[in-house]
Structure 1
Amino acid sequence: MQKVLIITYYWPPAGGPGVQRWLKFAKYLPSFNVEPIVYAPENPNYPITDDSFLQEVPEGIRVYKRKIFEPYGLARIFSKKKTKQISAGIITSKNQSPLEKLLLWIRGNLFIPDARKFWIKPSVNFLSQLIEKENIGIIITTGPPHSVHLIGQQLKKRSKVQWIADFRDPWTSIGYHDKLLLTASSQKKHKQLEHLVLNEADKIIVTSNTTKLEFSQLTTKPITVITNGYDTYKERPVPLDAKFTVSHIGSLLSGRDPLNLWKALSELVMESDEFKQCFRLQLAGVVSRDVIASLESCGLGPYLDLPGYLSHEEAMELQRSSQVLLLIEIDSEETKGIVPGKVFEYMASKRPILGVGPKEWEVASLVEASNTGIIFDYQQFKEIKDILWQWFLEYKKGELFLPFAKTEQYHRKELTRKLSKYIGIWE
């Protein structure tokens, strides 16, 4: 059985979508003659934790950990709340306080590529010995944080291993990158490090075709797309909500604020007493104050339910009980290639997906090809309102279902099969 070292910042009890990708790969890799060995931080500063993921760590897997120094711990002295938001990538673009601007400037210019950079040197020293001791021939780094890729870059120079860099998100083209108040020299440094990683890794994995196209302009190294996916669980029966519940699960950053969607819902509430009595808007996870203000300005405050962060198990149940699932992305050129991990679990729930994102959003083709919903852009209003009304009428008849959903290719085991072939272990 081939040993593969997975170097990741996010590992249980980390919460959110970032941890699930390699947790699931680690679960299924032994089925393809691969022994995953995991390296993760011992004392990380996770913005979200979810103890339910601890139960999903494969039995017998070896996980090595070393301490990490993170400046976020010191920054909490000034503002615990703001530091946690920045750590989670929640950057409010409107009405930033001087403290927020200062923290962003420090984050963007003093900690390049990110605030986990101090983990690089001790990790390289420790892992160099581990690679030799365990006779490991393949290492995989997964980012963000992209400082993890610099661990891989230095290990390749020392140990001559095959290094595969997995990008769950882009680097310098990610939506929040231009909000970090970068100086020209800092921006140049980010670009240099991105170029270094893309050209010294042996192979590259990305989660979208858009990112593959972007990276192919920067390197000639092999690049493949392996999306995120969904897994199967022992699920207890969950009844559909009696109300016409429209739910979003996950963070709603300031830029994820589709006014035409809120206006469409507002008009339906005003025009139909029946819709008004049945409708509930459920936003589970961290929701920015800008989005809440928009909802209240549209008169949707009375219908709003904010349960906060849910465990993965709770989120899965909410997905299956909701009448409609919302998928929202920031409206920008940089987000066209962002494929949120939750889209695949949305698909698996077999509930209709209503998405709002940038024009030519890559998610649109995935959702529509799988017969699991429909995606709109931010400028569309009548179309959004019409589909909501259509689905509401089907809900009233008890006929709001997706009988022809096609999602098998996104199962975690099938994705792991693709991974094992790409790294050259399983044929």
Structure 2
Amino acid sequence: MRILIIAWFFPPWNEPASNRPDSWARHFAAQGHPTTVLTARKDPRLQRDLSTPLRPQSGLTVVETPLRLMRTPVAKGASWAAGSIPQARRLARQSDVIISTFGPWYMHVLGWFAKRANPGAFWCADYRDLWHARDFFMQGRPWRQAFMRRLEQFIVRPANLAVSVSPPLVASLAQTHPHIPGVTIYNGFPLSEHMPRRPPEVMRQRAVAGVPFDIVYTGTIYEGGYNDPEPLLRVLARNRWNRPVRLHFYGQSAASPLLRSLRDRYGLQESVVLPDQPLSRGDAVRRQREADLLLHLGWTNRGIDGILSAKIFEYLASGSPVLSVGAEPDTAVGRLLHETGAGICVGRNESLIESHLERYVNEGDCTAWFGPRTDRILAYTRERQAARLLELLQEHAGH
């Protein structure tokens, strides 16, 4: 099969969203399927961090078309997409399979033009996030949501397959596009980053020795009630620990005004660490492996339950226990942690948070809720997920 992937996010842009199309493209090419990626020429004025190497690979071609309207405050991406239509059409005529990966929304518009140029090609519409039903984008704007729903249905109607990152999002897509089969392809993590768990006896020895207990968060704080670290901070402020507990926030979250306010409100200036310097991805992975506990802030809004970020899969790979605060056990992240044995969801239940932490911090024992199942965790490698997508494409595209 000759495969065309249309993606806004792609290396060297150092964004988690770049990993999904990159891992697919490399797996497809490695399996003998010539793969072309259509993406924007990267510009540090717009994409800023271009530190991810774009490694050459046999069978993989990356076509970068120029950005436009760089001096305007808006429409840089949309104007790029408009200018890339001729390339999308040309490349589609040379392809058996077209994959457009959302977002932004104009990736599927380019997919529509590509499908029009080659109606016989198999079009897979990938959704890392929802389009018209995206809560962040549409909240409080029913007129906009109605318009975008109609636009999305028109644009994506010719697609042959819809793919998304979790079962709840696939179910949502089925309501918008009932005629299009939908499947789940998780974001996953690189196999090379998988680490075994820390031996339980080491955890107990650290507790007995009074080694400071490090909790690490390397995600994003979405203010406005989407995720909420306050229940954990309230528990930490009760200070029922027989050794120092430090809660480290890295990345964008460290600059959150909400976090600084909560830290000061609960008198946790010595416990909550907010570094000024950003953390490279390599250093973030290292800190996740070294942590006694990884904090995950789950969605408190049920309407966006199905968004499984790339971060939770990094956590799975780390070998460290995961405590998810905010989301309930019956959510997508709760089911994922339960299935893999990598941790637990406690919602906003402070009694649960305290009981789990008290035994782990003071005794070094978290075996009641942490028992990673390696076989289940390895099912979520990017390599396994890319292989599953390729199998589906071969099955549905008839090659």
TM over 0.5: yes
Q: Deviations over 1:386-420 (max 9, x none)?
A: 11112213438999974644312111221111101
Say which SS state the counterpart of residue 423 (structure 1) adopts.
helix
Q: Aligned residues, how many?
A: 377
**Number of the residue aligned with 2:230:** 259
Provide the C-alpha distance between the structure 2 equivalents of 1:410 and 1:327, rounded to a whole number of angstroms: 18
**CA shift digits 1:167-195 (9 cap, x unpaired):** 0111223231135x7472x3332122222
Q: What is the rounded CA distance, in whole Å, between the counterparts of 2:56 and 2:215 in structure 1? A: 32
Residues 247 and 271, structure 2, Cα contact 8 Å, conserved in 1: yes
**1:372 and 2:342 matched:** yes
Aligned residue for 1:410, secondary structure, equals coil
1:61-210 matched pairs, under 5 angstroms: 61-69=60-68, 74-75=72-73, 116-132=77-93, 135-160=94-119, 161-179=121-139, 182=141, 184=143, 186-210=144-168
C-alpha contact (below 8 Å) 1:323/1:400 kept by paired residues = no
Per-residue CA deviation, residues 320-374 of structure 1 (Å, 9 max, x unaligned), is: 0111011113311222111111211211111100012334321100111100000
Alpha carbons of structure 1 residues 173 and 183: separation in structure 2 relative to 1, 3 Å: closer
User: Contact 2:359–2:365 at 8 Å: present in 1 too?
Assistant: no
The one-letter code matched in structure 2 to 1:289 is P
Contact kept? 1:13, 1:54, Cα under 8 Å: yes
For residue 215 of structure 1, report the CA deviation from its aligned partner: 1.2
Give the C-alpha shift of residue 211 in structure 1.
0.8
Instruction: Name the aligned partner's letter for residue 63 of structure 2.
Output: Y
State the 1:423 CA deviation.
Answer: 0.9
Select the residue among 290, 294, 313 that pairs with 2:262: 294
d(CA) in 2 for partners of 1:325, 1:250: 10
Using the TM superposition, give the Cα deviation of residue 305 of structure 1 relative to its aligned residue in structure 2, in angstroms: 2.2
Separation in 1, partners of 2:56, 2:346: 37
Which one-letter code corresponds to 2:133 in the other structure? Answer: S
CA contact (8 A) 1:26 1:58 kept: no
Identify the residue that residue 306 of structure 1 maps to in structure 2.
274
Q: Which sits farther off after the overlay, 380-389 or 298-307?
A: 298-307
Deviations along 1:116-159, one digit per CA (max 9) or x if unpaired, are 22222221112222333xx2121101111121111001221122
Distance 1:244 1:166, change over 3 A: same
Give the distance between the partners of 2:282 and 2:295, measured in 1 at CA: 18
* Greater shift in the superposed pair: 246-255 or 147-156: 246-255
* 8 A contact 1:16–1:48 mirrored in 2: no
Long gaps (5+) in structure 1: 76-106
Q: Give the whole-Å Cα distance in 2 for the aligned partners of 1:74 and 1:373.
A: 46
Helix, strand or coil: the match of 1:291? helix
Counterpart CA distance in 1 for 2:186 and 2:145 is 28
Deviations 1:268-311 (A, max 9, x none): x2x33x33xx2111111102212331232122232222345422
**In terms of mean alpha carbon deviation, does 366-375 or 60-69 score higher?**
60-69
Tell me which amino acid in the other structure corresponds to 2:127.
Answer: F
Distance verdict in 2 for CA 1:264–1:66, change over 3 Å: same
Q: Which residue of 1 aligns with 2:295?
A: 326
Structure 1 residues 309 and 40 mapped into 2: Cα distance closer, same or farther (>3 Å)?
Answer: farther
Match of 1:214?
172
Q: Any gaps of 5 or more consecutive residues in structure 2?
A: none
1:17 aligns with 2:16: yes
Does the Cα contact within 8 Å between 1:354 and 1:374 map onto a contact in 2?
yes
Change in Cα spacing, 1:250 to 1:127, as seen in structure 2 (3 Å) is same
If the length of structure 1 is used for normalisation, what is the TM-score?
0.80
| CA gap 1:204/1:266 in 2 versus in 1, 3 angstroms | same
Structure 1 residues 337 and 325: alpha-carbon distance in aligned structure 2, compared to 1, 3 A threshold: same
The structure-2 alpha-carbon separation of the partners of 1:366 and 1:34, relative to structure 1 and needing over 3 Å to count, comes to same
CA distance in 1, matches of 2:42, 2:190: 28
Matched AA of 1:368: H
CA distance in 1, matches of 2:377, 2:195: 21
Q: Contact between 1:32 and 1:417, CA under 8 Å: does it hold in 2?
A: no
**Contact kept? 2:189, 2:317, Cα under 8 Å:** yes
Change beyond 3 A, Cα 1:362–1:294: same
TM score, norm. by length of structure 2 = 0.85
Cα 1:217/1:403, change in 2 over 3 Å:
closer
